[in-house]
Amino acid sequence: MLKNFSPKSLGINGRQSELIELALTYGFASMDIDMYEILRRSQRTTADDAAKFLKAAMGEGMGRLEQVGGFQLEINLDADDDAFTSQVGALHPLTELAADLEATRAYITLPAATDRLPYHEYFTTQQNRLSQVAEVLSAKGIRLGVGFNAAKVLRESKEFDFVRNVEGLIAIVKAVGNPNVGYIVDTWDWAVGDGGMDQLSEIPGSEIVAVRLGSLADDADPAKATRVDCVLPTAEGGLNHVNVVKHLIASGFEGPISPSASPTRYKGQTRENTVKEAQEAIDAICTAAGVEVKPLPMDLIEDIPYEPTPVA
Produce one character per residue of 294-307: b if its CB has 16 or more CB atoms within 10 Å, e if not.
eebeeeeeeeeeee
Q: What is the pLDDT of residue 307?
A: 39
pLDDT, one tens digit per residue, over 57-73 is 986 655 689 999 999 99
pLDDT in tens, 255-299: 999 999 999 998 889 999 999 999 999 999 999 999 988 888 865
In a domain, 312, yes or no: no
Instruction: CATH number of the domain at 86, please.
Output: 3.20.20.150
Give ∠ CA 214-217-220 in degrees, rounded to 5: 130
From residue 34, give the alpha-carbon distance in Å to each of 61, 137, 181, 282. Answer: 24, 16, 20, 22
- What's the whole-number mean pLDDT along residues 79-89? 97
221 burial level (CB within 10 Å; 0-12, 13-18, 19+):
exposed
pLDDT class of 158 with cuts at 50, 70, 90 = confident
| Total domains present in the chain | 1
pLDDT at 222: 83
Please report the pLDDT score of residue 268 as a whole number: 86
Would you say residue 217 lies in a domain?
yes
Q: Which of 160, 165, 170, 169 is nearest to 150 (CA)?
A: 165
Residue 59 covered by a domain: yes
* Residues with Cβ within 8 Å of residue 262, at least 6 apart in sequence: 11, 227, 228, 229, 230, 231
Whether 25 maps to a domain, the answer reads yes
Range of the domain at 43: 2-300
Contact by Cβ (8 Å): 21, 53: no
Cβ neighbours around 255 below 10 Å, total? 25
CA angle centred on 293, ends 15 and 24, rounded to 5°:
20
Helix (H, G, I), strand (E, B) or coil at 284: helix
Residue 20 lies in a domain: yes
Percent with pLDDT over 70 in the chain: 92
Residue 309 counted as domain residue: no
